[in-house]
Structure 1
């Protein structure tokens, strides 16, 4: 999907922004230089400028004046002047200097005297820097008037304005949608009634995207486009403020329920200054960081500290002969902003009533949640908080066995009984995918048939998974609610906080899915759809029919209760361990008190002030520039995929896996293969995002290294030790690369250079080592890529820890088993290679795990307390060649619970 050099640059190539825009300008400069030196063709320059001009209509810079100057120089055959101006514009776009340097908006001819209405948009001369943004103006006025209208906006600027903006004009619904997608600098939209629907440009892919989202068909049915456009833009970029200017009954429009997407309605332009101030105020509402702002003010005050925090104000550091270097390394502000006080402009994280409370409310607005709670102990703590708040001893939780260990430990602490469901295996790469919906529904139906559905409390899933599998959150929740209308959902989105700012990923987040369900529940058609399906299913539908049907819940009974945990630090600009709990729960008032008790239990009473401030600032950044940052992260990932998989040398040894390898075809009903497959459109991807059971997060790239003779741990070490490239996750024969809002194209270039160097070294070794080297390499690759161990599924809990579980369901009392292992006399150890293990597998008694055993990789528990250990698990353990296995002591062996534990005796007595 990314635009290659000299590929057609029509408006419908908008998904290649922002780097493709810079590439196109560099291409134009290159063509101009060839023209200037007599080596190139003027027509090629003219064609390239024509392609660029269409895209540039959706950006304020370089604007009408500079683009006109380029055309004038081209028409006058002024090759040198054209090249010079094009080079300046290209440089300003790459460096973003136009946002703060007024000279970038001027040509050499107009430096001397610029009229007031044509002042450069970033600054008046001599002004201090102010944050810059752009405003989309959708107007029915002819394009010839747009420059004059821009001047009217500029005349409204005042020295006391906190920010400065430049308008971008379009004249149609399609151009407005395109601008919202293309231009990440937009922070607000002004809509004048009376605009048209169709773009002035040929944009077939744009129309295909509109059709895929349903916007085009709906627009055709509605004569009134303004409210429809506002809804459409909000669905793409919910962070944008939208203002409507109408010459009709604005009072009636403002009261229309469809106007909820609009921040304010004006009667045409009777109050231009009010419109200008409203735009600035809307941006300021997102720019404000209540806790961080107060922390900065606190740090500037002279404060006497008589509390238990010696480093506060930094005196113990900067006056020390021995640790002054720490102060010099971190800087004085870190210590001036430290305090254990919750007064004097600060606030308490445990009982927020001031600026932390307001910061959390602003985060809730940004993420589309009802409530947000900041957590400074990482998402491991966030997950435990939710479990403790919602799960009582004996409650059943449907849990992805492959989830993060904090969920398992959370249930141990809460006393919940996990009913483990397994994800689909990817044995070739020694990893699991995600849990199929059919598996989840089967667990729900099992509980229903056993008469135990009332004991089910939570469905707990990881979205997206470590390896990038994204659930269809709306479908999962709707079908589960069709079986149990009040079930609670916990979505662990530790790696997925950034997805809120992608229009393609947002619907697949927990809050995005919940928002769609909320909207559906309000629609009278929802009840009609439910009743129609009930007639089709009949009075007593078979289990097979229920599993094969996309179930519709009864909107009259649904209690929508959704919790989402985010490791904000993993994908946003927050300090390590910064996390959030997002809540959209219609019954939260019933559990709010116990939720606060969970916070008191798990949260530190001495939270780090800088960490809280970073959560506040991370929200600000994403609301104001997150859309562009996420688009760039996606494009970085697509660049890596394309370069690795198409490189003539690198691709012999390394490969970035796509959907065909990561998601079985049965879960891709829309037929989507990969973003880089020739002929694939973004309409195809949008259909996949809406319809497929699973799709992939492009920013997560599984790179197969086993075909280069490296296991994952070995390759991770090589990249870190020799090339200073850091990554987290590995499997037996792969490593996981992640692009994020921090990455640049320079990072991509460094990675490709390193992979080429490693690949070339392999080629040289194989060429110089003779047949023996080639055979050894082939054997190594075979052991990593072919001779892989089967992945063990969860077996079952031992009868001693089944409590009142039914015959069909597999939940167990993990808490009793966990704490039973605290008594040494109830435990035994057997070495992994001991023949006693093989004998007991055949003859008994059952071997019951006393604790969690978690190998890294794959990083999930292959044994949990109370689980019966099977041959598949032992075989897997014996084939593991990883060094890090939590819960396993190689010197002593497997830790097992004996058959005569109190729980076992009690179970036998009851029987």
Structure 2
């Protein structure tokens, strides 16, 4: 990969820079070996030219990494220029191996350019090698932006190395650049960079020809930065670096009035300001202190200390300290399996440094504050029994009985139960369907706006409390969160947003998807509120459609609406299944809050925590949430980019493989998102001009999370459940979600290229087996196979929409809006006399669908797949819902017992006037 390539590079090349770099080194190695074996001996220049070409491709990229660095790259270029093929091959092999293994992180010998030292790495003096004993010290790199001439950069690096001390907890090397654009390139391309030191006076333009990154820079850099003065360019660079990678520590060095700069609000995100280089040791110590601030895990650190203390346990937890296990004749194997530390770190006490999850005041509070910083929130709360509980905590805290909630009908069942508990009235919103794959996408913004405007027309807008959406959906649909919130706030300025980002927590650490997270979008909205763009756009809106938006004005549905910055309140909540995409133990979850009015609901919020949180939370889950935050702040950028790249590799390899693609296909953007929601026209996540991909991510109504891959298996004759079972039992591949004719694969920070290779081999083996069976079975086998495929891919049941709540659970039966009293329906079903059961395939069902009385569900009915309620308590059951259930071939349907039939509320119970209604708040 070369930085001076044209702008038509696919998205793959941008997210896969780290792997592309290693691949480029492997290509250089191969070219060097070929040259050493043949070219040098025969005098053939072709082999040498191949090496020179690959070396040129690498040289500009390597400017942004500390290793191999200028000295090694210069030595390699000299060897090639001199025609010493053997030495060039040895050196490139050595450097490639060090990069692949990352041995240069801890082995100082890798930094010695003398070939004779390869077997004697300790020759480097301690001041340079950074060797502080046997303890592993994490390695990172520091980006230095300076106007200092390149001829002095090597000396700058040496000066900083001389400051190393054996007691330093970390080791770092410098990457030095001289311009605004090169600083951006370094932050994007090099995930090992953890801190940035900015010297005043740098220039704007890169020393490289970088057209491929101009579009990306334009998205982060306001117009005209190139024309700014040196003084104004520094704050612009700081803001851009923080937009790209918020986790970076930034230090500023200047010969100007540093006291004024330190107090400048535009430089508030700078960790420390120094007066030029009068205190190089303080700069060094500050860099280490900044990394240590992220590295520190308050709860996990205290739990480790606690586990090593001699404790007498007189509390109700026999497994604490492990004596009941390791001294047992019968369960000692449990201790051998889990290890001693697990039990030494168990306790039911909240003293001795362990703190209380219900009322944290010590290290849990500090850990939560660090998590809030890492995820861009005002507050963070740890939850140890999953995001199902996180959702119910938020809903109980914020919703009053009678409040109206706009909610995706296909959201996780915990939200439906949360509304039952809170007594809220759901208005179910329909997502767009993908009938052929038996799944739903997201809820169009037009649908959301129409529901709000209808409620306004009915005089009920004041009761609308919350919009609740899943971002991203199980299948990977990601909303344009900022646009959704801004347009909804234009209609109702105090609307609360709950974004269920159970599967999307990792996106905070992707510069591409951060702005589509709840917290990322909330930050952008708050920042925009202070600017003039809102006000000028609002004035234009007032002139066109009036000040008070008229629900009867059809233009409002398709016009981009602008909120009033003087009236709107940014009230955003995000629930995050940390365990689903980060290194947390199962059921580790977080609630993230960005709410300008949180002080008004804080007491209710804590009361909801008391309601739903166990008084005996799992200490190991709390510690793992602390650890997950540390990892994502320090290496999340690299790991998320790698997970994204692996997903793109799978998409590309499956869909282009000549055999595998005959029977399997990974659905692409054009398959999963209708054209009306892709104004940029982008259809594929692979092989697409990445500048168009960035434009799509920035602007389209829906995009796909690339790490979630829907693999169609129906075209291979397998339904989703069958294929999932076969992968697990025969090939040791585990997946989670299925549909009628597909399975969902997902890459995460745990996956490697070896995993991808294993998956591809399995798919090739399965496809080969299909070919062999069809060939052996002849025409009858082919005909049977085609019939099976047609049944899975074409004879698919229509996806039923939510019908309506029965009039018994409606306050105003003449209303055009659809909110219903789900709580009353839920608890009415507790009365056995109010319920009946009717078999699904009975004539009674068909008769009542045709002639009445209406069938009204007494419970939630949730088939897996698709995994969302197709019936909720109080819902009128329609022919479409019954037909869908009859065509389902899944075994797991929550809320339905085939032996008894559908649980319904009886006509008699529904005829009785309700004794009590929940009063509207």
Question: How does the TM-score come out when normalised to structure 1?
Answer: 0.97
Q: Is the 8 A contact 1:420 1:811 kept in 2?
A: yes
Distance change in 2, residues 1:396/1:274 (3 Å): same
**Deviations for 1:809-866, whole angstroms, at most 9, x for unmatched residues?**
1010011111111111111111111111111111111100000000011000000000
Give 3-state SS (helix, strand or coil) of 1:189's partner: strand
Distance change in 2, residues 1:100/1:805 (3 Å): farther
Residue 690 of structure 1 and its aligned partner are, at CA, apart by 1.6
Give 3-state SS (helix, strand or coil) of 1:136's partner: strand
Structure-1 residue corresponding to 2:661: 651
Structure-2 residue corresponding to 1:558: 568
Distance change in 2, residues 1:793/1:707 (3 Å): same
Distance 1:692 1:47 in 2: 39
The one of 688, 694, 707 equivalent to 1:699 is: 707
- Stretch of structure 1 that moved more, 744-753 or 16-25: 16-25
Distance change in 2, residues 1:652/1:388 (3 Å): same
Alignment gaps of 5+ in structure 1: none
Distance 1:466 1:603 in 2: 26
Structure-2 residue corresponding to 1:169: 176
Distance 2:131 2:432 in 1: 60
Q: Is the 8 A contact 1:391 1:457 kept in 2?
A: yes
Distance change in 2, residues 1:342/1:81 (3 Å): same
Give 3-state SS (helix, strand or coil) of 1:325's partner: helix
Counterparts of 1:113-128 in structure 2 under 5 Å?
123-124=130-131, 126=133, 128=135
The answer to whether 1:323 aligns with 2:338 is no
Residue 250 of structure 1 and its aligned partner are, at CA, apart by 1.8
Distance change in 2, residues 1:120/1:406 (3 Å): farther
Residue 524 of structure 1 and its aligned partner are, at CA, apart by 3.5
Structure-1 residue corresponding to 2:370: 362
The one of 448, 459, 465 equivalent to 1:440 is: 448
Structure-2 residue corresponding to 1:490: 498
The one of 76, 80, 100 equivalent to 2:82 is: 76
Structure-2 residue corresponding to 1:767: 775
Give 3-state SS (helix, strand or coil) of 1:294's partner: helix
**Deviations for 1:131-159, whole angstroms, at most 9, x for unmatched residues?**
11100001112222111110011011122
Distance 2:9 2:485 in 1: 41
Distance 2:123 2:373 in 1: 38
Distance 2:730 2:168 in 1: 50
Residue 64 of structure 1 and its aligned partner are, at CA, apart by 1.7
Structure-1 residue corresponding to 2:630: 620
Q: Is the 8 A contact 1:830 1:895 kept in 2?
A: yes
Residue 195 of structure 1 and its aligned partner are, at CA, apart by 1.3
Distance 2:500 2:912 in 1: 34
Q: Is the 8 A contact 1:12 1:203 kept in 2?
A: no
Distance change in 2, residues 1:675/1:440 (3 Å): same
Distance 1:425 1:724 in 2: 32
Structure-1 residue corresponding to 2:829: 821
Q: Is the 8 A contact 2:405 2:468 kept in 1?
A: yes
**Deviations for 1:394-453, whole angstroms, at most 9, x for unmatched residues?**
111111000000000011111111110010000010000000001111111111000011
Residue 92 of structure 1 and its aligned partner are, at CA, apart by 1.1
Counterparts of 1:861-880 in structure 2 under 5 Å?
861-880=869-888
Distance change in 2, residues 1:726/1:42 (3 Å): same
Distance change in 2, residues 1:109/1:755 (3 Å): closer
Number of equivalent positions: 906
Structure-1 residue corresponding to 2:17: 17
Structure-2 residue corresponding to 1:547: 557
Distance 1:734 1:219 in 2: 50
Distance change in 2, residues 1:363/1:2 (3 Å): farther
Q: Is the 8 A contact 2:132 2:166 kept in 1?
A: no
Structure-2 residue corresponding to 1:32: 32
Give 3-state SS (helix, strand or coil) of 1:849's partner: coil
The answer to whether 1:101 aligns with 2:107 is yes
Q: Is the 8 A contact 1:212 1:683 kept in 2?
A: no
Residue 768 of structure 1 and its aligned partner are, at CA, apart by 1.6
Q: Is the 8 A contact 2:109 2:121 kept in 1?
A: no
The one of 588, 592, 608 equivalent to 1:582 is: 592
Q: Is the 8 A contact 1:791 1:876 kept in 2?
A: yes
Distance 2:911 2:570 in 1: 37
Q: Is the 8 A contact 1:425 1:431 kept in 2?
A: yes
Distance 1:670 1:489 in 2: 27
The answer to whether 1:204 aligns with 2:214 is no
Residue 674 of structure 1 and its aligned partner are, at CA, apart by 1.5
- Stretch of structure 1 that moved more, 108-117 or 219-228: 108-117
Residue 218 of structure 1 and its aligned partner are, at CA, apart by 3.9
Give 3-state SS (helix, strand or coil) of 2:907's partner: coil
Structure-1 residue corresponding to 2:43: none
Residue 84 of structure 1 and its aligned partner are, at CA, apart by 1.4
The answer to whether 1:836 aligns with 2:839 is no
The answer to whether 1:135 aligns with 2:145 is no
Q: Is the 8 A contact 1:394 1:417 kept in 2?
A: yes
- Stretch of structure 1 that moved more, 808-817 or 33-42: 33-42
Q: Is the 8 A contact 1:800 1:907 kept in 2?
A: no
Q: Is the 8 A contact 2:220 2:240 kept in 1?
A: no
Structure-1 residue corresponding to 2:641: 631
Residue 126 of structure 1 and its aligned partner are, at CA, apart by 5.0
Residue 10 of structure 1 and its aligned partner are, at CA, apart by 13
Distance 1:272 1:725 in 2: 52
Distance 2:799 2:910 in 1: 32
Residue 525 of structure 1 and its aligned partner are, at CA, apart by 3.4
Distance 1:146 1:127 in 2: 31
Question: How does the TM-score come out when normalised to structure 2?
Answer: 0.95
Structure-2 residue corresponding to 1:88: 94
Distance 1:538 1:368 in 2: 35
Q: Is the 8 A contact 2:431 2:444 kept in 1?
A: yes
The one of 28, 51, 70 equivalent to 1:64 is: 70
**Deviations for 1:668-723, whole angstroms, at most 9, x for unmatched residues?**
1122221213xx33221221112111000000000000011000001101110100
Q: Is the 8 A contact 2:15 2:644 kept in 1?
A: no
Residue 116 of structure 1 and its aligned partner are, at CA, apart by 11
Distance 2:278 2:584 in 1: 43
The answer to whether 1:417 aligns with 2:428 is no
**Deviations for 1:256-276, whole angstroms, at most 9, x for unmatched residues?**
221123111111111111111
Give 3-state SS (helix, strand or coil) of 1:366's partner: helix
Distance 1:592 1:796 in 2: 35
Structure-2 residue corresponding to 1:399: 407
Alpha-carbon RMSD: 2.3
Q: Is the 8 A contact 2:10 2:686 kept in 1?
A: no
Distance change in 2, residues 1:428/1:907 (3 Å): farther
Distance 1:407 1:482 in 2: 25
Residue 251 of structure 1 and its aligned partner are, at CA, apart by 2.1
Residue 106 of structure 1 and its aligned partner are, at CA, apart by 1.9
Structure-1 residue corresponding to 2:57: 51
Distance change in 2, residues 1:552/1:806 (3 Å): farther
Distance change in 2, residues 1:354/1:907 (3 Å): closer
Structure-1 residue corresponding to 2:187: 180
Q: Is the 8 A contact 1:11 1:54 kept in 2?
A: no
Q: Is the 8 A contact 1:116 1:155 kept in 2?
A: no
Residue 79 of structure 1 and its aligned partner are, at CA, apart by 1.7
Alignment gaps of 5+ in structure 2: 40-45
Distance 1:522 1:647 in 2: 52
Structure-2 residue corresponding to 1:390: 398
Counterparts of 1:191-270 in structure 2 under 5 Å?
191-215=198-222, 217-220=224-227, 224-270=232-278
**Deviations for 1:195-245, whole angstroms, at most 9, x for unmatched residues?**
121111122111122234445644445652211111111101000011111
Distance 1:123 1:34 in 2: 37
The answer to whether 1:641 aligns with 2:651 is yes
